[in-house]
Structure 1
């Protein structure tokens, strides 16, 4: 923390792609839908929002792959190790995957979304409200 400002950093598994957030993440959530399970090869996607103007790539931007290819909305991952790093909307970083943050101190999951379509073998933690789909009140997910 510098001058009461939180600075977070993150990187992919191989360390080739690195980023910095001059601020904090917010609206941390876990999505349990079938698309996230496939995209992240896990029971859920742990993701938090960022302010795009506070996000910057520090190294390895040339290694980034965007899916869908050529899209301005989707996800970006390291083309060398495959780590899912962020989501983009209109070409700007919208949020980051929590697993690629170097320090997750102070981040609390605010909601579990799409629990209605979770894998039958998954046990969803009780640490936050559950929503069968996407909550109608987005302020629940985007609270700071």
Structure 2
């Protein structure tokens, strides 16, 4: 099945389209995601590099390398964190909060659950991986 999703930043300066099969979707509780999103966790969905296109703002979107090989892409005008990627696996991890339409997949697990915020309580029955996804 081929999916098509669109997304954009808060101010609208940067937008994208992703076409193709969606990979996995999960909630990430790592400390970097907590700080990047000012939240207990972020929800991501994976798409292949080949199916991803910037449709607006490619000349302004920028990234921060949060760990070796991992780039976190954001809009420099409003600060929205749009996605992250690793060159090694060719998967772009879209931040679901910036998806505008087309997403029907549901999260299948929590990752980095051992790093969850002390004030956060899990309220679902999704599997919880203490560290990263074993299949990613």
Question: Is the structural similarity TM-score above 0.5?
Answer: yes
Q: Which runs of 5+ in 1 are unaligned?
A: none
1:21 aligns with 2:18: yes
1:114 aligns with 2:112: yes
Structure 1 runs (4+) deviating above 3 angstroms are none
- Report the counterpart of residue 125 of structure 1 in structure 2: 123
Distance 1:50 1:128, change over 3 A: same
| Number of residue pairs aligned between Structure 1 and Structure 2 | 134
TM-score normalised according to structure 2 size: 0.87
Which protein is richer in strand relative to its size? 2
TM-score normalised according to structure 1 size: 0.82
1:85 aligns with 2:98: no
Distance 1:104 1:22, change over 3 A: closer
Q: Which runs of 5+ in 2 are unaligned?
A: none
Which protein is richer in helix relative to its size? 1
- Report the counterpart of residue 58 of structure 2 in structure 1: 61
Note the aligned Cα RMSD (angstroms): 2.2
1:43 deviates by: 0.6
Distance 1:80 1:109, change over 3 A: same
Question: Which region of structure 1 is more displaced relative to structure 2, 79-88 or 90-99?
Answer: 90-99
